[in-house]
Amino acid sequence: GENVEQHPSTLSVQEGDSAVIKCTYSDSASNYFPWYKQELGKGPQLIIDIRSNVGEKKDQRIAVTLNKTAKHFSLHITETQPEDSAVYFCAASKGGSEKLVFGKGTKLTVNP
Amino acid sequence: EAQVTQNPRYLITVTGKKLTVTCSQNMNHEYMSWYRQDPGLGLRQIYYSMNVEVTDKGDVPEGYKVSRKEKRNFPLILESPSPNQTSLYFCASSSPSRYTEAFFGQGTRLTVV
């Protein structure tokens, strides 16, 4: 089955710096890669996703890149703010959201 | 407001005492899933359902049961809870369209003593 590895497990940055979280997946049939943000005491919430026919996608300060050949995808957050502090999860699936395989998460801390 | 509602939010129980965690969604989604979240292990899928009366095992189904008698509800049943089922549980729902968002509930923190 699919296996998703996520690094780093913790990341601490200064406000205004950029943050990068990387994930690799094992199943070449996976074609949908969402990123979820989980704030303390809440459920995960989708922040951005990318499909396998796209190499990069941006939404304001957040971007995701995908390298299908290397089977890895990354989340980039620019101009980080304290409210970006949360746990971030990458995931992979074969198109549907009924069966997502998640990475183990990255705890991002943005220091003011 | 579109939402997935889980109850209870917190539960402490004793080993072997049957319990049910309820999940309800108001978005008319066909797909529903249960995940457990443990420190250092991320989110792991327990069971999922693609429609009423259609359920299938996820990656960690041992010790759990589910049922899907109505489209909006997907309860998680622990017939004989054990301490290793102490965890944070999330219910999620999504539509069957490809590349769509999964909506998560607020979570249920279960402690089995």
pLDDT tens, A59-84?
999 999 999 999 999 999 999 999 99
Contacts of A45 in chain B (CB under 8 A): 104
> Which residue bears the tokens 């989708």?
A46
pLDDT at B96: 87
Residue of B73, B41, B71 whose CA lies nearest to B59? B41
DSSP state of A93: B
Interface size A-B, in CB pairs within 8 Å, comes to 72
CB of B31 within 8 Å of any CB in chain A? yes
Name the residue among B4, B33, B42 with its Cβ closest to that of A98.
Answer: B33
Span B36-44, mean pLDDT? 95
B positions 45-74 inside 8 Å of A (CB): 45, 48-50, 58-59
What does chain A come to in residues? Answer: 112
pLDDT at B99: 82
CB B86 within 8 A of CB B76: no
Q: Which amino acid is at B66?
A: V
Query: Both tokens of residue B52?
Result: 């009423």
Interatomic CA distance for residues B29 and A69, integer angstroms: 34
